[in-house]
Amino acid sequence: MAAAAVVSVSMGVMKPVLAKLTTLMGNEYKKIKGLRKMVTFLQRELGDMDALLEKMDSADELDPQAKKWRKDIIEMSYNIEDCIDDFMQRVGQADDKVGILRKAFKYLRTFKDRYNLANQFEKIKAQVMEASERRKRYMLDQSISVTAPVAVDPRISAIYKESASLVGIDAQKDELVNWAMDKEQQLQVIAIVGFGGLGKTTLANEVYREVGGKFDCKAFVSISQKPDIIGLFNSLLSQLGLGTFSQAWGQLKDPIDKLRGHLQDKRYLIIVDDLWNIEAWNIICCAFPQNNQYSRIMITTRIESVAISCWGNQGRIHNMKPLSEHNSKKLFFDRVFGSVEACPSSEIKNASCEILKKCGGLPLAIITIAGMLACQPTKLEEQFQYIRNSLSCKFTTDFNYKNMMYILDLSYKNLPRHLKACFLYLGSYPEDRVIDRVEIVRRWVAEGFVSDSTGQDIWDVAESYFNELVNRSMIQPIYDDFVLGIILGCRVHDMLLELIVTRCKEDNFLSLVNDLQAVVEVQDKIIRRLNIVGIQGKRAGENVVGVNLAKIRSLTILRESNWIPSLVDFKFMRVLSIYCYQRMQIDLTVINQLSQLRYVKVGGNREKIMLPFQIQGLRLLETLDFSGIYGYDSSISLEIDDVPRLCHLIMPQRYEVA
C-alpha cells in the first residue's frame, strides 16, 4: 500500500501524489512497460506545479485564469491519487515470503490492472503537459504578486490567554448583572445586540458565570442561523438534568411540557445565544413559563428587530459597544508583547496603532490579528508594516462587514501550509457546535492533513496543529471545568465559519448540503467531502442521488437527516461519521469493502443500525468508534481481524470484541 502522505495547503493532494508516485518506483512494478520513465516525468512536472501552488496560496489576489488553472491542478491531483490508490488496492502489496508460483499467479491475475495503469498514466501525462503549456501561455509565474507572509514559529511557545478576550467588558457586564438581579418579580428578557465579533457571547457567558449560582437552575444554549430545535431542546433538558429527547420535527410538545413543568416553580436563568430569527424564538420561548419567580432569559443577536420582538414589554435591550482606543491597545499589546510597555520600538507601536484603527474596536478582529503576530519568534517591523499595508489598501471607509471578513481572510492566508486544510476542515461541523479535540485530531490524521516527516508521533503532531490554531486565535478553546488548563474542544466563531464555508466552496474542498438549494448547487461538482445536515424527505434523497458521489473521501451526516447514500460504491472513502436519528437506517454490513477507510464513527439507535459481524481487512483503519450507539437489549460480539493500523477502538459498554 502506498505510503501515507500529507495533504497540501492548496486543499489538493499534490504532496500525497508525489509520495505515492515514489512507491510506484519499487521493484514490484518495474515490469510495467515505461512506468519508471513516466513516474519520473510526473514527479518532475507535478513538483514544479506544487511550487507554483504554494506561491498562489500566499498571493494577494489571483486573476480568473490563475484561479481556473489552480482549481484544475487540484482536481487533477485528486484524480491521480485516486488512480494510484485504486491500482494499489487491486494488485496488493509485495510479499517476499510467498513462492515463485504464487508470485507468477499474482502477476498473471493482475496483468490487466497493470496494463490499465499504463494506459491511464498516458492520459494523465497528456493532462499534465496541457496544464504546463497553459501555465507558460498565461505566464502565471510572472502574474502572481506575493507579499511575503508573516513567518511562523513552529514551536507553540505562547500560551493562549483566555482572559485576553475579556478586556474592556467590565462596565457592560456590571450593567447586565444589575439587570439580571433587579427586584422585578416577573420573567424578564434581556437582549444583547451587536455586530458580529463585538463579543456578545463572551459578555453573556461572563454574566452567566457571575450570577448563575444565584438561580435555582440555569442553562446556556446556542441556536445559529439554521437552528437544530431538537438539539437545542436536548441541550436544555440535559443541562437541567431531565434526560434527552430524540423524536423528529412536529413532536415537540413533550419536551416543551417537560421543561415548563420543571421550571414552573423555580427561579431560572436561560441564555439563548446567537438568535437569528423570531420564528425560532416563538418555538423556544414556549418552554419558559411566566412564573413570577424573578427568572431571567438573556439572548444575544446581531439583529435589532429580533431583539425587540423577543423583549416585548418585559425586559431590556443592551447595545454592545466597540472597545475604546485604550482597551483596544491593551487587548492587542497584551496579546502580542505582554504589555504596551514591552513593545520593542516606536515604529512597531505606530504601525500597531494604525492596525487597531482598522479593527474598529472589534475584539474578534483585534484578537485574530494579534494572534497572528504573537506567534512570531521575533517581532520585526516589517511584519507589522505588512499587516498595516494590507489593511490600508482595502479599507477606505468606516469599519463594516467586508472589512471584518478581509481581516479574517488575511489571518487565514497567513496560516502556515500545514494548518490551512486543518482549519477549513472545521467546516465539517455545524455553527456553534463544540468540536471535540480528540475527534478532530483523529479526523485530520485520517484525511492526510498531518505530516510525520519530522519523526514525531503523528498524533502528537496533530495535537500541535490544534494548539497552534488556538494560539493564533483561529478557534476558541473549550476548557475542562475540573482540570485546570486542559482543553476539551473548541468552537469556531460564526464569522470565521462564514469564511471557511466561502473558501470551501471556492476550492471545492468540502460540500455542505443542508437544504434543497444546497443540493442544486453541488449537482455539477465532483464531491470529495460531503456533509449532510438536516436533509429529510424522499425528494431531498432523490436529488442528492443525482449528485456525483463516486469520488467521496469523507461523508458526515448530522442532525435530523433521514437519508443516507448507499456506501458500497464509495471505494475512496477515508472518513465516515454518521449520527443516526430515529427515522434513518444505516447499513454498515458493506464496511469491509471500503478499503481506504481510516476513521469510522457511528452513533444512534441500535435498532436502525445494521452492523457487520466482523471488521476484516481494513488495513488502513485507525479509529473505530461505535460508542454513540444505544438502545440494544443484549450484548453484541464483533470480531476484528487483519486491521493492523487500528489505534483507537471505542465501543459501548455492552459490546464484546474478539
For residue 350 the three cell numbers come to 505606530
Q: Is the pLDDT score of 291 beyond 80?
A: yes
Q: Is the pLDDT score of 398 beyond 80?
A: no
Q: Are 424 and 504 in contact (CB under 8 A)?
A: yes
pLDDT at 643: 93
Q: Is the pLDDT score of 163 beyond 90?
A: no
pLDDT at 7: 47
Least confident of 156-160, 172-176, 371-375, 580-584: 156-160
Least confident of 78-92, 142-156, 241-255, 482-496: 142-156
Instruction: State the average pLDDT for the chain.
Output: 82
Q: Is the pLDDT score of 526 beyond 70?
A: yes
Q: Give the distance from CA 582 to its chain's centroid.
A: 26
Per-range mean pLDDT, top range of 246-255, 489-498, 582-591? 489-498
Specify the higher pLDDT residue, 226 or 551: 551
Q: Is the pLDDT score of 108 beyond 70?
A: no
Return the CA Rg of the chain: 27
Phi, psi of 554 (to 5 degrees): -145, 130
Q: Is the pLDDT score of 367 beyond 70?
A: yes
pLDDT at 103: 53
Q: Are 573 and 594 in contact (CB under 8 A)?
A: yes
Which band of pLDDT confidence, cut at 50, 70 and 90, is reported for residue 373? Answer: confident
Specify the higher pLDDT residue, 399 or 236: 236
- Identify the three-state secondary structure at position 598: coil
Specify the higher pLDDT residue, 452 or 96: 452
Residue 604 backbone zone (phi > 0: left; psi -120 to 50: alpha; other: beta): left
| Number of neighbours of residue 98 by Cβ within 10 angstroms | 11
Which band of pLDDT confidence, cut at 50, 70 and 90, is reported for residue 560? Answer: low
Q: pLDDT tens-digit profile of 459-484?
A: 999 999 999 898 888 898 898 877 77
**Concatenated DSSP letters of 239-292:** HTT-------TT--HHHHHHHHHHHTTS-EEEEEES---HHHHHHHGGGS---S
- Identify the three-state secondary structure at position 184: coil
Specify the higher pLDDT residue, 484 or 161: 484
Which band of pLDDT confidence, cut at 50, 70 and 90, is reported for residue 162? Answer: very low
Least confident of 102-111, 126-135, 136-145, 168-177: 102-111
Q: Is the pLDDT score of 99 beyond 90?
A: no
Q: Is the pLDDT score of 563 beyond 90?
A: no
Query: What is the average per-residue pLDDT within 579-597?
Result: 82
Q: pLDDT tens-digit profile of 617-635?
A: 899 999 999 888 877 554 5
Least confident of 226-240, 548-562, 595-609: 548-562
| Cα separation, 297 vs 176, whole angstroms | 12
Q: pLDDT tens-digit profile of 53-91?
A: 888 877 767 888 998 999 899 889 988 988 888 888 777
For residue 416 the three cell numbers come to 502556515
Query: What is the average per-residue pLDDT within 392-416?
Result: 74
For residue 203 the three cell numbers come to 459578555
Percentage with pLDDT > 70 across the chain: 80
Percentage with pLDDT > 90 across the chain: 33
- Identify the three-state secondary structure at position 551: coil
Instruction: Give the CA-trace dihedral at 401, 437, 587, 564, to 10 degrees.
Output: 0
| Cα separation, 557 vs 300, whole angstroms | 28
Least confident of 108-122, 158-172, 224-238, 270-284: 158-172
Q: Is the pLDDT score of 509 beyond 80?
A: yes
Which band of pLDDT confidence, cut at 50, 70 and 90, is reported for residue 158? Answer: very low
Q: Is the pLDDT score of 542 beyond 70?
A: no
Query: What is the average per-residue pLDDT within 323-337?
Result: 90
Query: What is the average per-residue pLDDT within 372-400?
Result: 76
Least confident of 45-49, 312-316, 494-498: 312-316
Q: pLDDT tens-digit profile of 125-154?
A: 999 999 999 999 988 888 776 544 443 332
Q: Is the pLDDT score of 167 beyond 50?
A: yes
Query: What is the average per-residue pLDDT within 24-53?
Result: 84
**Concatenated DSSP letters of 471-537:** HTTSSEEEE-SSSTT-EEEEE--HHHHHHHHHHHHHHTS-EEE-SHHHHHHTTTSB-SEEEEES--S
**Concatenated DSSP letters of 437-468:** HHHHHHHHHHHT----TTSS-HHHHHHHHHHH
Query: What is the average per-residue pLDDT within 295-311?
Result: 89
Spatial neighbors of 174 by CB under 8 A, at least 6 apart, are: none
